[in-house]
Amino acid sequence: MKYRYLVAGAGGFIGGHLVKRLLNEGHEVICADIKPIEYWFQHYDECTNFSFDLKSYSNCLKITKNVDYIYNMACNMGGMGFIENNKAECMLSVLINTNLLRASLENNVKKYFFSSSACVYNGSKQSKTFIEGLREEDAYPAEPEDGYGWEKLFSERMCRHFTEDFKLETRVARYHNVYGPLGTFDGGREKAPAALCRKIILAKENNETTIDVWGDGEQTRSFMYIDDCLEGTMKLFGSDCSESLNIGSEEQVSINQMIDIISEIANHEVKKNYQLDKPKGVRGRTSNNDLIRQKINWDTSYSLKNGLELTYKWIYDQINNSKSNTNKFTKSY
């Protein structure tokens, strides 16, 4: 059956991939993002596309009219450097979720999805490397990432109470470090997999043997490939589960280990220049998927190496296409 979807944050990395999936399923898709359309990672002429600031309630009312379902992927975010240095800007994203929820009630939206983050988890549970996977209950007592994490946790609660008080069906996913092609790989908002792929590609092409690494490289994370993220997201949205669920990988690695994997893909060994004064986030973080396996029978299918191979190739092509067009590397996205 064909439905009318709104994807908020459609100009972003996950949002663009999600729009493509919904179109492939035959749905009508309305896309909104604060960025001018020419700066969206992906956009499709068959969609109705708006460059809208969804912190505005009036804009939310306009864009949710006659919409069946909403995926809210919109927020101001980036890698650890951006999050740590823009706490107030990150927290202002709470207005997007609040006003989209209010507009959903006004316009009788059937179901609403909120993209949360592993940054909601209690920091005291992430003080060591190679920790046990974070379970959903580990978000409380609350001690999330300052700024961005607090916004996500508060917005989760908003969804919960709109369900309890107003019977609006909501679904919430806590994403763990999503990466893949058609994402940011330079400019300050990129995450570790893309940043390290870029650094090693450029080191190889410039015959360099050293790359800069934020922190000591021993901090650990799990990273989820975009296709796994989309499968989990759409399966959760179609389920009857209203709990906040992890959508992430359980394959935990240190940054040093990930560099070694990318170096193997590139066939180029590098030394690491550790920058101990740079933002590095919590010491260890990974997902426990027990609950989502139980509730909706979802798990990841891409290994980190498989996903990095695909991501590396895409970033390599972007850098070399840019070089061939301009004779120097410039940012493509």
Active site residue 179: no
Q: What is the CA radius of gyration of the chain?
A: 19
327 vs 123: CA distance, rounded Å: 45
DSSP-assigned letters across all residues of 220-252? EEE-EEHHHHHHHHHHHHTSS--SEEEE----E
Helices and strands (H, E) in the chain, number of each type: 11, 13
CA angle 192, 228, 150 (to 5 degrees): 55
Which listed residue (148, 179, 225, 302) is catalytic? 148
Q: What is the dihedral of CA 100, 91, 154, 239, to 10 degrees?
A: 50
Catalytic positions, written as ranges: 148
